[in-house]
Amino acid sequence: MLRYAVAGALLAVLLPNVAAFAVTSKDKMATCKFGADDQNLQGNARNAFMKKCMSNKDDPRGAAMAPPGAPPPPQH
């Protein structure tokens, strides 16, 4: 019974924090603009940066690498 009480208390503490990971499009736009301004981007370079930043597909780690000898992944 103590196990259920601890699990319930832990769940009650962790659930309110889930919404903290949600980012609104307005917040995302502000972050992307800050990044473009920080890099002094203008014109086509700024547009490309903003498009990539707002797409939610930008991964700071880069593309996954295939093991040697494996066929390349399909392009989307």
Identify whether 60 is part of a domain: no
Range of the structural domain that residue 51 is part of:
24-55
pLDDT at 76: 64
Identify whether 5 is part of a domain: no
pLDDT at 21: 53
pLDDT at 44: 95
Q: Are 53 and 32 in contact (CB under 8 A)?
A: yes
pLDDT per 10-residue tile (average), the chain, 76 residues: 70 54 79 91 92 73 66 70
pLDDT at 69: 73
54 Cβ contact list (under 8 Å, min separation 6): 25, 28, 29, 32
Tally of domains within the chain: 1
Identify whether 42 is part of a domain: yes
Identify whether 28 is part of a domain: yes
Identify whether 8 is part of a domain: no
Q: Are 67 and 73 in contact (CB under 8 A)?
A: no
